[in-house]
Structure 1
Amino acid sequence: MNLEIYTPAILIVLGVVSGLAVIVALIQTCAWFSRAGKEIIDLPTLGKLLLHILGTVSTVIFLVIAGVSVWWLILFKIQYNGIFESNTSTPQSTFKMLLIVSFILKTGDILHIIIRQSTIDIFFIDWEKSKSGTANTVSAWRTCFVANEFNGIQTFRRIHVAFHLLFTLFFLKVINLENIASIDSRFANASLPISPNYTMEYESIFRSGTGFLVLSGTVLIQYFFYVLIYQRLVEDKIINFVDLCSVSNISIFILDQNRHGYYIHGRSAHGIADVNIKDMIMNLERESRLMSIGRGLEANSPEQLFIMKINRTFRSQYDLLFQKYGDYVRQRRARGDKEHFADILLQSYQNLNKFLCAFIGHALPTHQYVIRNRYFLEKVFNFEFPVALGPDLTDTIDNFFFVDDENVFTKILFYGQEKSLIIWNMITFLCVDFVFSNYILATIITFIFDAIAVGLRNSLGRRNLSTKALVPRELLI
């Protein structure tokens, strides 16, 4: 059997799906182009297109080679012999090259995700009113507490990588599913006994197919366990964080693009949150009995999560208020005046907090917004279409809040990039194993690479949170 005849067919399939991946990348770039407020195609736009192509093409290459490895494992394992082995040299070289290219491209995509998430603009809006009438007397502990909680969930994922890799290694090495990848067709069943003097030999593509199936199976098991059991019976970190915002009377204003972002409405239904333990318990009791207004942004609405689309004027005003703080920071570094820096930090925070509170509360006539649900196609393409509001509103309002009933805002966290991250973990595992034929080494290197990504994201995210949210880095744990 001449297996080299399958190589052109594989490349043709790869070319077709890569073309579809490029189309997806074009759609993603168009969405970014609109959200960034671009008017002409410039170098940053072309660079963003290239980065999106890296992400989509790396994924389809991985899926194609994973499918091919499983196909070979199922159809050709029982036919393996010396002739088969001699006919696999060219396909193996192609397979290895594609796997390495996929790993390099996907690693670039993960770095792009980390940088994108670590450069967002974020601000914690404090709705608390001073009891003495002086803004300086409002406690900052609630803001710091919510900021630390947000910092803690930046790298949270539904799939626990260490457990996933150990679970995979258990099936491959302890239960001996690795035997399925042997060149001996007698070991298509992993449970067959092996002679003490028998030396097991493996086919690299068979190992990739076996590894992919086990990795996919363990991911699905862990994912469904989290969604169906842990998230329902133990805790849902995302929902708990939104609840914490409401209890703390803190909203979160996020801009991931120049004119696009997310809003988490955390304004307390009781007006104040800085109360004693008895009042806090009674407030929660009144909420449970529906004796207070809802937590939603609109009256009689439970919606707290929104996708934002803002106009150029609002963005300019936001940048102006923040730029004053940036200028003072540079001056502070030159003089080393801590007290002066603290005064400017407080003033800048209060000015920006006042501006955003007024904006959310519809108290700025020049900055009004409209709330609406996203249409079906907007959800499919994750892109908000321009829609006319009528002759009385089209020319006056172009700020929009779209109800985020799918938790799209988690895209600024590792939680919302789970698919890309798990694909990267799987590519790393299979790439290392294909080169070294060692599942244990693949497990160790995959864990190390993932730990590096998490550490980088934590470090950059913490620094960005301190700079953009006006929360001193010393107060972030």
Structure 2
Amino acid sequence: MDVAANTRTIWIVFGSLSGVGLILAFIRTWAWYSKSGRTIIDLPTLAKFFLYIMGIVGTVMFLVASCAAVWWLAFYKKEYNNTFESDTNSIQKVFRILLIVSFALKTIDIIHLIIRQATIDIFFIDWERPKAGDINHVSAWRTYFVANEFNEIQTFRRIHVSFHLLFVLFLLKVINLENLALAGPDITLSAPTFQGNYTTEYNRIFRIGIAFPVLLGTGFIQYFFYIIFYQRFIENKIMNFIDLCSVSNISVFILDQNRHGYYIHGRSPHGTTDVNMKDMLMNLERESRMLSGTRGLQANSTEQIFIMKINRTFRTQYDLLFRKYSDFVGPRRSKKDKEHYTDVLLESYRNLNSFLCSYIDHSLPAHEYYVRNRYLVEKLFNYEFQIGMTGYNDSLFFVDNEKTFTEILFYGEENSLFIWNIITFLFIDFLSSNYVLAAIITYLLNLIAVALRNSFGRKNLSKKTLVPRELLI
């Protein structure tokens, strides 16, 4: 076994993959630069580039260390002898560096993800019209209900972390797959042997080599179970939320960047949804028999989810309508101006709601938009080009069949979160040689990330949708 050659190979693979990652970071930064509507390369652009590099390099380090450990377990365990451990001390230092740095970089990437998701602009458009002609007769409960459902799915994931870690510990500790990492040439699931005062110990690289495929395999099993079975036959939270929007006559307008966002069309084909139980059930019955209109944005269409590229004038008008409210709540208000606060809140909500309703209905000639499907290259790069427009200043809506709007939720960032969970587990185990401790710390760190996302997301949701925080459960 040539330790020097193996170490050199690890660094060569890491350097090659990092070069590819550098290109990917540049592409992601360029996409962000375009979506944010910037005209010069400024400090935020450079900061975003380095943040993307950190996330990608952290993933590369994790993959190189994990795959190298699996390789060592598969090909070098049989060669294990008394000098093996001392010969591999230098390469264990390489693994330690890779895991420590990858954990630090990926943790920064997750913090960046939480900040990015918790600072979006979002508004719930209410299409309901008052029956008596008085705008004060429109109930706000439908909006609050949709807002709470959105708040609930912000941290929803397809992989349940608690179940995943318990499944992993069952395989490693109960089935005793952990014993495959024993420092010796034997492949056995039996407990370590005692020879006098000496106990067969575990090799740290072998521990990574067995833990990584177990973590990856159990995660894939749970992911495919959710995709193939759970969301088809039990519950699909994302589609349920979209259906709720249609039943509630509420659309969701989202801006994740200055000039880019998503639109979920929830306008009811029945015109009104603030009805009694009988009328609601009869409306759904007529819709199931195709005796009413469709739920889509366009006539005779079923597409409800869109990616938006908006122009600068629309964004300016949107910010102006929101500014009166944001300027008022900027200073810390006291209880004595509660009535004035609610007046400003209601006026700001109505102005924004009226503006967005008119915009979606093509009633604002100065703010026109056009709808088209995404091209194949746009789907591959997840970036929409400003082509196929009637006028240069017009906005574009792209049909989002891939549901890329979930990128503003944990649901759409499953890969990054899953990789971070695995890195945390392997990093803690490499330091402690204890799978149980690794699982506990992984669970706790994930719990902290969920709590931060819930807290900041709820606060942002209240601020941007003008839904009082007290009404968000």
Query: Same fold per TM (> 0.5)?
Result: yes
Aligned position for 1:65:
65
3-state DSSP of counterpart to 2:330: helix
Cα distance, 1:387 vs. partner? 1.0
Report the alpha carbon displacement of residue 336 of structure 1 after superposing the two structures with TM.
Answer: 3.7
**Residue equivalent to 2:428:** 432
Which residue identity does 1:12 align to in structure 2? I
Residue of structure 1 aligned with 2:467, choices 460, 467, 471 = 471
After superposition, the Cα gap between the structure-2 partners of 1:211 and 1:292, relative to the gap in structure 1 and judged at 3 Å, is same
d(CA) in 1 for partners of 2:335, 2:428: 51
Q: Measured at CA, do residues 330 and 5 of structure 1 come closer, stay the same or move farther in structure 2, by a change above 3 Å?
A: closer
- The alpha-carbon deviation at position 49 of structure 1 amounts to 0.4
Give the aligned partner of residue 135 of structure 1: 135
Residue 238 of structure 1: aligned partner: 238
Letter in structure 2 aligned against 1:288? S
Name 2:391's counterpart in structure 1: 394
Preserved CA contact (<8 Å) 2:179 2:191 = no
**1:346-361 matches, cutoff 5 A:** 346-361=346-361
**Partners of 1:332 and 1:340 within 8 A in 2:** no
Aligned partner of residue 337 in structure 1, secondary structure = helix
What secondary structure sits across from 2:279 in the alignment?
helix
User: Which residue identity does 2:272 align to in structure 1?
Assistant: I
Q: Which residue of 1 aligns with 2:275?
A: 275
- Pair 1:103-2:100 in alignment: no
Q: For the residues of structure 1 that align with 2:372 and 2:188, how far apart are their CA atoms? A: 56
1:421 aligns with 2:417: yes
Aligned to 2:115: 115
Q: Could you report, residue by residue, the CA deviation over 1:273-327 in whole angstroms, capped at 9, with x for unpaired residues?
A: 1000000000000111011110000011110000000000000000000001112
In the alignment, what sits opposite 1:456?
452
How many pairs align?
Answer: 471
TM-score by length of 2: 0.98
1:166 matched to 2:166: yes
Report if the CA contact (8 A) 2:80-2:185 is conserved.
yes
Residue identity (%)? 63
User: What is the distance in 2 between the residues matched to 1:449 and 1:89?
Assistant: 30
- Cα deviation, 1:428-466, whole Å, max 9, x if unaligned, reads 000000000000000000000000000000000000000
Matches within 5 A, 1:62-461: 62-186=62-186, 188-190=187-189, 192=190, 199-330=199-330, 333=333, 336-389=336-389, 393-395=390-392, 397-461=393-457
- Structure 2 gaps of 5+ residues are none
Alpha-carbon offset, residue 157 of structure 1 = 0.1
Q: Deviations over 1:405-430 (max 9, x none)?
A: 00100000000000000000000000
Secondary structure at the counterpart of residue 83 of structure 2: helix
Cα distance in structure 2, aligned partners of 1:167 and 1:178: 13
In the aligned structure 2, how far is the partner of 1:334 from the partner of 1:26? 47
Paired with 1:257 and 1:175, the residues of 2 have a C-alpha distance of 48
Q: Which amino acid aligns with 1:36?
A: S
Question: Is the partner of 2:262 in helix, strand or coil?
Answer: strand
Structure 1 residue 388 displacement after superposition: 4.2
Equivalent residue of 2:333, what SS?
helix
Cα distance, 1:156 vs. partner? Answer: 0.1
Q: What is the rounded CA distance, in whole Å, between the counterparts of 2:307 and 2:270 in structure 1?
A: 25
Distance across 2 between alignment mates of 1:95 and 1:420: 21
Q: Render the CA deviation track for 1:162-220: whole Å, top value 9, x for unaligned.
A: 0000000000000000011111222x232x46657683311101000111011011101
Q: CA RMSD of the aligned region, Å?
A: 1.3
Does residue 50 (structure 1) correspond to residue 50 (structure 2)? The answer is yes
CA displacement, residues 50-89 of structure 1 (integer Å, 9 cap, x when unaligned): 1111111111111111110100010001101122212101
Are residues 1:12 and 2:12 paired? yes
- In 2, the alpha carbon distance for the partners of 1:398 and 1:101 equals 45
C-alpha contact 1:2 1:87 (8 A) present in aligned 2: no
Deviation at 1:468, TM superposition (A): 0.5
* 277 and 335 in structure 1: CA distance in 2 versus 1, 3 angstrom threshold: closer
Unaligned 5+ runs, structure 1: none
**Aligned partner letter, 1:110:** I
- How many angstroms apart in 1 are the aligned matches of 2:378 and 2:17? 23
